[in-house]
Amino acid sequence: MSTPSAKTSAKAKKVVAKPAHDEGRLAQVLVAPIVSEKATSAAEKHNQVLFQVLRDATKPEIKAAVELMFKAQSIEVESVTTVVQKGKAKRFGKSMGRRDHVKKAYVSLKAGQELNFSGEGA
């Protein structure tokens, strides 16, 4: 049988919030920025930035990783869209092989924000 003092002490315990994502994991989620004609077009038309990310990365992790990596520029992410690009089938002599699949993230920034990869203040 529980005593009244045990009930009050259970209620009095302070719940410590666990961080949403591990910073070590977030540092590895973004593999590389993608710089291409398509990426430049997406940046101009839709205020998006493209990144190559880990294949098992989730959208909330990608959002947190971008905001963590570019917090000096106070970047806020509006949304994240992901695409898995299948690897090309290639020949290696007689045998057929396949390049690795690649996951890309289209990161939409909030209106009026711009991402500067050079690290210089603009």
Question: What pLDDT, in 10s, does the model give residues 17-60?
Answer: 556 678 888 889 999 999 999 999 999 999 999 999 999 999 99
Chain-centre distance of CA 102, in angstroms? 14
Domain 21-89+97-109, CATH homologous superfamily name and number: RRM (RNA recognition motif) domain (3.30.70.330)
φ and ψ of 85, to 5 deg: -90, 120
Question: What pLDDT, in 10s, does the model give residues 95-113?
Answer: 999 999 999 999 999 988 8
pTM: 0.74
Counted residue by residue, the chain has a size of 122
Token output for 59: 């959208």
User: Residue 14 — pLDDT band, cuts 50, 70, 90?
Assistant: low
How far is it, in rounded angstroms, from Cα 50 to Cα 58? 15
Token output for 108: 């939409």
Average pLDDT value over all residues in the chain: 84
106 and 42 in contact (C-beta within 8 Å)? yes
pLDDT of residue 93: 92
pLDDT of residue 87: 95
